[in-house]
Amino acid sequence: MIRAITLDLDDTLWPIAPVIERAEHAVQAYFAEYCPEVAKRFPITAMRALRERIAAQHPHLSHDFSEQRRLSLRAALDACAAPHAHLEPAFEAFFSARNQVELYPDSEAALRLLAARFPLAALTNGNADLGRIGLAEWFCFSLGAREHGAPKPVASIFLAACDRLNTAPEYTLHVGDDPWLDVEGARAAGLRTCWINRHNSAWPATLPPPDWQVDSLDKLHALLQPSQADYA
Ligand SMILES: [Mg+2]
């Protein structure tokens, strides 16, 4: 029996690639207007390479995409001897666009139905802001890797969420798109698991299978229809 649900966000409730691309363009537009030398020296591909370099140089920040982004922007400003006063506005350009997501068509209705029956918590390695996105009302809380200090698949982030939900792991269902970070991480922490497989991918042969698999979130709601046990 499931008593609470933790949900991944990126690529579970909305596709993330187009969002990040728009956010990168927003940064580019900021620099084009206020620091043209940075825009010229760091077009989007160069900025991506810089961010990858920064991430590789700071493995201890693997749980903190916001800090990685800030360090990348700072490095770009430094490379052009541009003032650090542009750092926060450039980050805000990114962050604001990063939170303008386009939900999968089934997400909002499914959240509404699930939230009516289960306490929901967001569990994300990314830096989405549910308040800005306008989905906070469906969630008890959002626990991010940045706040927790370590990313999925570490067991401690799943257990911390169960703790805050006040449910034992075996009664908590984690739903996510990533077989390793979401499903295997949650399984290893003792949670029940649901793989959201929107693109008809093959399950990795090396991993134990998820408890459930769905291709959209509304199907999860149907799967979790009350059984007789709920009325016992
Ligand atoms: Mg995801």
Inform me whether the pLDDT recorded for 11 exceeds 60: yes
Domains of the chain: 4-14+102-231 (3.40.50.1000), 17-98 (1.20.120.1600)
40 alpha carbon – ligand 1 mean position (Å) = 32
Sign, CA dihedral 208-209-212-217, equals positive
Inform me whether the pLDDT recorded for 205 exceeds 50: yes
228 alpha carbon – ligand 1 mean position (Å) = 32
Using CA atoms of 171, 177, 181, 182 in order, give the dihedral in degrees to the nearest 10.
Answer: 0
Give mean pLDDT, residues 181-189: 98
pLDDT for position 105: 96
pLDDT for position 232: 46
Inform me whether the pLDDT recorded for 160 exceeds 90: yes
132 alpha carbon – ligand 1 mean position (Å) = 18
151 alpha carbon – ligand 1 mean position (Å) = 12
Q: Is the peptide bond before 153 cis (omega within 30 degrees of 0)?
A: yes
218 alpha carbon – ligand 1 mean position (Å) = 17
Give the count of alpha carbons within 13 A of 11, CB side only. Answer: 16
8 alpha carbon – ligand 1 mean position (Å) = 5
37 alpha carbon – ligand 1 mean position (Å) = 35
DSSP state letters, 104-115: -TTHHHHHHHHH
15 alpha carbon – ligand 1 mean position (Å) = 9
Model confidence over 167-180: pLDDT tens digits? 999 999 999 999 99
DSSP, res 207: S
81 alpha carbon – ligand 1 mean position (Å) = 36
Q: Which helix (H) or strand (E) holds 70?
A: helix 65-79
Of 125-134, 173-182, 189-198, 223-232, which range is least confident? 223-232
Give mean pLDDT, residues 206-225: 93
94 alpha carbon – ligand 1 mean position (Å) = 19
pLDDT for position 221: 86
| pLDDT band for position 89 (cuts 50, 70, 90) | very high
Helices (H) then strands (E): counts for the chain: 12, 6
Break the chain down into helix, strand, coil percent, rounded to 5: 55, 10, 35
DSSP state letters, 118-148: S-EEEEESS---HHHHT-GGG-SEEEEHHHH
220 alpha carbon – ligand 1 mean position (Å) = 16
pLDDT for position 222: 85
Inform me whether the pLDDT recorded for 227 exceeds 70: no
| pLDDT band for position 230 (cuts 50, 70, 90) | low
